[in-house]
Homo-oligomer: A and B are copies of this chain.
Amino acid sequence: MSRSSCLVFLVLLSLSWVPQAPAATPLSPSSEECLDCHGSVHAGIVADWKRSRHAAITPKAAMQVEGLGLKLSSKQVPEALLNTSVGCAECHTLRPEAHADSFEHNGYKIHTVVSPDDCAVCHAVEREQYAANIMSAAHGNLADNALYNDLERTILGTAEIQQNRAHFTPPDAATRADGCYYCHGTRLVLAGVEKRATDVGELEFPVIKGWPNQGVGRVNLDGSRGACTSCHTRHHFSIEMARKPYTCKECHAGPDVPAYKVYETSKHGNLFAAMGSQWNYDHVPWTVGEDFGAPTCAACHISLVVTGDGAVLGRRTHQMSDRLPQRIFGLIYAHSQPKSPNTTLIRNKGGLPLPTDLDGTPAAGFLVDAKEAATRRDTMRSTCRACHGTAWVRGHFERLDGVVAATNAQVRGATRIMQTIWEKGYAQGPGSGGSPFDEAIERRWSDAWLMYANCIRFSSAMAGGGDYGVFQEGRYHLNQAIMEMGDWLKAQDGAGTEKR
């Protein structure tokens, strides 16, 4: 290759990414008007959109795709949307009456926050599935559960020691939006309107509390819940991006839910990191072996996965729990998936809004039964078997069952010490009207289940290697927490401390 032809080649390579006007796909006059200003003012947004499938195809053409490649799932799409690309105006002026933040803008009724109910105009099936996804209820499941709220208060609040006890000033809106609700989703509220000077004179805009936010359970200004942009990042809405594990990592990174960290340390994550630049992330359906050589998060949990000869291994779902028998994180014990995405309905025997009792007994009436759990596990297994023999897959899941049982037993041991501490009055627990989360020793207890038992289970579930299950916030630390709790109890016994 001569130097000049090499140069030409590299220039062409780089050009291939430069956004090009989608010549064949007509833009609506409204969207054209948007682009007149916003193409300059928000160059990044527009460049992003130009690279999107929304810019390159009309809904009419998208509806004509036959078979498994169909992405536009609504049976009907309003006539007015059919024959242009899906541009600015198509989404931001949709259903104006439904959106509390709709405002007059150059003759249009614009709303800032596009919601799942807007997307559902073309993607009805996905929106339906997502509404059954526990993620869509993530705001209320935290904000409307008194017990979780108490935990939230002791994490996000400002702790101060007064008379030997921690007192918590409740967190303000900034801290809540920046903390738990970054992922759980804020509740958006229209707080008024304001005038702002712009390049084209003074204009009026809505003022929205809780904005910006892209949390999975965001409560929108049309009452809908969720943000499709959590995963399908605005304004490219890229299926490639949603299929890569980095998207899931935004909310599944910390020790409370270390899915990404475990993934990247697993053989699957190794394959993705080492060979994934050669894979195709855009094909629908997604062909195992041909398009990709190892699963990303999406392959196991969401995507429509097929084999080269067309067999469907997993149907596309936006209800992630479709392939999950158990919830292995976030709560004191691993337990079967809840029946309803609204987990505030759950009550354990003690009347607490928890899916298990403190001894681990499941609140069975609110959780899927063994048969449903088995069905979900089978759905997951059929994807595994594209690359693994039956004995391998069975061995893997048997091991996971063992690990879930073992970690539940370990947490039971930790909880018994905690209960002894409460009973002896060394700390004030729920039995005496106290919070189970507002003392230092209680936090060592929550370390045990919220951090370490979680990590161990994720590591097992994803064949994630020994480190995350052992030395990286795993078994080493779980037993350390239990031993320290034992030491603390012994010291209190020795000190003759009495009930405060």
Contact = CB atoms under 8 A, between A and B. Distances in A.
A70 interface: no
Contact of A289 (B43, B165, B399): B43
A399 B240 contact: no
A266 B250 CA distance: 6
A264 B44 CA distance: 20
A270 B246 contact: yes
Which one of A41, A47, A154, A495 has the highest number of Cβ atoms from chain B below 10 Å of its Cβ?
A47
Given A166-B479, A177-B399, A466-B180, A158 B47 contact: no
A212 B214 CA distance: 39
Contacts of A184: 466
27 contacts: A9-B16, A17-B280, A46-B289, A47-B290, A47-B308, A51-B293, A159-B482, A161-B489, A166-B483, A174-B400, A175-B402, A175-B406, A178-B403, A182-B469, A205-B390, A236-B275, A236-B293, A238-B275, A241-B274, A246-B264, A253-B265, A253-B472, A439-B487, A440-B486, A491-B495, A494-B495, A495-B495
A112 B388 CA distance: 11
A249 B267 contact: no
B18 A290 contact: yes
A417 B159 CA distance: 11
A358 interface: no
Contact of A155 (B12, B440, B443, B475): B475
Which one of A18, A399, A474 has the highest number of Cβ atoms from chain B below 10 Å of its Cβ?
A399
B387 A470 contact: no
Nearest to A249: B265
A136 to B, nearest CB: 17
A115 to B, nearest CB: 16
Interface in A18-56: 18-20, 23, 40-48, 51
Q: How many copies does the complex hold?
A: 3
Interface residues of A, number: 156
Nearest to A11: B1
A465 B182 contact: yes
B280 A14 contact: yes
A79 interface: no
A64 interface: no
Interface string A473-500: 0111011101111110111011101000
A469 B270 contact: no
Interface in A264-293: 264-267, 269-271, 273-275, 277-280, 288-290, 293
Contact of A479 (B46, B155, B469): B155
A100 B398 CA distance: 22
Contacts of A236: 275, 293
A166 B497 CA distance: 22
A158 B406 contact: yes
Given A18-B290, A169-B409, A174-B402, 9 more contacts: A48-B293, A160-B482, A164-B493, A166-B486, A179-B469, A238-B275, A246-B273, A277-B277, A439-B487
Interface string A166-177: 101101111101
